[in-house]
Chain A
Amino acid sequence: MNERPLGVLIVEDEVLLATELEFLLDEAGCRALGHAMTADEAVTMAHDLHPDLALVDVHLADGPTGVEVARRIHQDCGGVALFMTANVKRLPDDFAGACGVIGKPYSGNGVRSALHYLTACLRDGHAPGPPPVGLTLSPDYIALWGLHELAKAS
């Protein structure tokens, strides 16, 4: 596949996790555009760098601001957010416009599989199949990427 790699913004206040995520992005054929640790940094970088995808932790260096970051990326920047959090149950029902969540603790392979899957979804506008283990999609994106039809067909 000789296509443009997915540009990804990392929004995570644990530097070690962010560093490892950059390696995983590289291995999944994505390009890490930058790394933000606070809500302000994240929104500024999303405006400037136009990421295709933003990996967003809920608890950032300035508090539980990740949900608002996802909402602003969704509304103002045209990018797609994906939560990465240990607090899956605390996410709002509408996922603040994000496409889904990877629950912590995740495995390296779990993240790589999710990135491959989302690359296909964002490129084709529909899902290649059910999401891999570890990735949960939001209700809006289940509908957008045609997973209802997929479930019926199988």
Chain B
Amino acid sequence: MTDLSQPPEPEPRGDPSPGQSRRDLEQLVADRTLELTQALEQKTALLHEVDHRVKNNLQLISSLLLLQNRRVADPAVKAALRGMLDRVNAIATVHRRLFQSDDVERFDVSAFVRDLVADVVGSAGRDDIAFSLDLERVDVAASKAAPLALVISELLSNATRHAFPEGRPGRVFVGITRNEDAFRIEISDDGVGMPTSASVNGFGLTIIQLLCQQLKARFEALDASPGTRVVITLPVNGARP
């Protein structure tokens, strides 16, 4: 490969005709432009290749979990695998979304929530749980996408899997609003309430608390009688909530 950091050869001393040196310069510029264009094309191809591999590997991980989930009979093991599958799916949804948009630096949280809810609704197979969304368009840095997606996924899974024992109908609400220096994400349900749902999924709660710490976000779980309301307050650009 050509070393692009090297400056072009200096013009030789002497006095060639003005027309000649101008043609030389133009040739140099054309050559370097070609080299840079080719280098950029190579890098772009490499980026696509890496993106492709990440997506295929995520697909492989999710298929492995699905296949094992079909094999085991123990309800506790099934629930654990199901939980991991939800988490991998959340990360997969992030990755699909990030490279769908033209801006790979920013992540549209509301679009992600719409995708995730559609998936959770379908896989829960519960027609008796009504979902409502009120989502303002909110972008975060791509580096925050995966941890934030995991937190939201965990809360949604909790609400759909634990708040409504078989036969109990109910509602789940997801709202995202933007204040001056923070985003507010609310997930609430009118199900059986916190003591039961939190004790059922202690690992999920740990994940939420750890990731909120990483995101410098505030996590509040309130008794909504009936049900639970969880509010995540995420500072914009490092401001404290």
Given contacts A105-B92, A106-B59, contact A20 B66 (CB under 8 A): yes
B67→A19 contact, CB < 8 A: yes
Given contacts A107-B89, A109-B123, A112-B122, contact A17 B55 (CB under 8 A): no
> Looking at chain B, what size class is its interface with the partner chain?
20 to 34
Interface residues of B in 37-66 (CB under 8 A from A): 48, 51-52, 55-56, 58-60, 62-64, 66
Q: Which of A14, A23, A90, A105 contacts B96 (CB 8 A)?
A: A105
**Binary interface profile of A, 1-42, with partner B (CB < 8 Å = 1, else 0)?**
000000000000010110110010000000000000000000
A105→B66 contact, CB < 8 A: no
Assess whether B162 is interfacial by the CB under 8 Å rule: no
The number of A-B residue pairs with CB atoms under 8 Å apart is 70
Assess whether A133 is interfacial by the CB under 8 Å rule: yes
The CA-CA distance from A17 to B61 in the complex, in Å, is 10
The CA-CA distance from A103 to B94 in the complex, in Å, is 13
Given contacts A19-B67, A87-B48, A87-B52, contact A104 B119 (CB under 8 A): no
**Which chain B residue shows the least CB distance to A88?**
B100
B95→A105 contact, CB < 8 A: yes
The CA-CA distance from A109 to B121 in the complex, in Å, is 9
Contacts of A133 in B (CB 8 A): 114-115, 118-119
Q: How far is the CB of B77 from chain A (nearest CB, A)?
A: 18
**Binary interface profile of B, 86-117, with partner A (CB < 8 Å = 1, else 0)?**
00010011011000100000000000001100
Assess whether B70 is interfacial by the CB under 8 Å rule: yes
Q: Which of A20, A87, A134 contacts B67 (CB 8 A)?
A: A20
Given contacts A14-B60, A20-B66, A86-B55, contact A113 B95 (CB under 8 A): no
Contact surface of B with A, Cβ cutoff 8 Å: 48, 51-52, 55-56, 58-60, 62-64, 66-67, 70, 89, 92-93, 95-96, 100, 114-115, 118-119, 122-123
The 7 A-B residue pairs with the shortest CB-CB distance in the complex, in nearest-first order: A86-B55, A105-B92, A109-B123, A109-B122, A133-B118, A105-B58, A105-B59
